[in-house]
Amino acid sequence: MSADSISASPTSADPQRQLLRHLIATLAYRTAKAWRGAPEGFADFQAPGGVKTPVRVLAHMGDLFDWALRMAKGGKEWTEATPLPWAEEGERFFAALKAFDDFLASDAPLQSVERMLQGPIVDAITHAGQLAMLRRQAGSPVRAEAFFISDIAVGRVGADQAPPKREL
């Protein structure tokens, strides 16, 4: 499905679900860009000022989407996973995004849209930018991109993303 189309699923009439799914696909695209090609040792890069290491940031992002899924189902409990190695942590994050997106694509009742946005979703978006900034600080910058024209598609929430249309 393209970013400008809406599926024929029963949830397509729900603009909140469609917007959330596009937001999640956008987060996947931007996070994959910062995650892919990270140099060896980047996972444990320590920026000045006591900033979390990249692998801890990515682990937190996975925790946020585990939490978002629980919230969507009416739960509230927060859990914190022990960070895995960089590649495995990325796989865990994208799996959590997929589980959340699969729930949004279903007909299951959806709880707390506003709280999910103001909590885990926007927090994870902030951390995607943090990963990109940490890449720059670690000497391996992610190229800037005209994200407005990026090929971002609802449902494409894994690490395998379309190539950039226009990097700057």
113 Cβ partners below 8 Å, 6+ apart? 16, 20
The 10 Å CB-count burial string (b at 16+, else e) for 35-45 is beebeeebbeb
- Sequential pLDDT tens for the chain (168 residues): 333 333 334 445 799 999 999 999 999 999 999 999 999 999 999 999 999 999 999 999 999 999 999 999 999 899 999 999 999 999 999 999 999 999 999 999 998 889 899 999 999 999 999 999 999 999 999 999 999 999 999 999 999 999 999 999
For 15-43, how does the pLDDT look when each residue is reduced to its tens digit (9 = 90+)? 999 999 999 999 999 999 999 999 999 99
- Model pTM score: 0.91
Helix axes 86-105, 15-35, angle to 10 degrees: 170
Cα–Cα dist 152/148, whole Å: 9
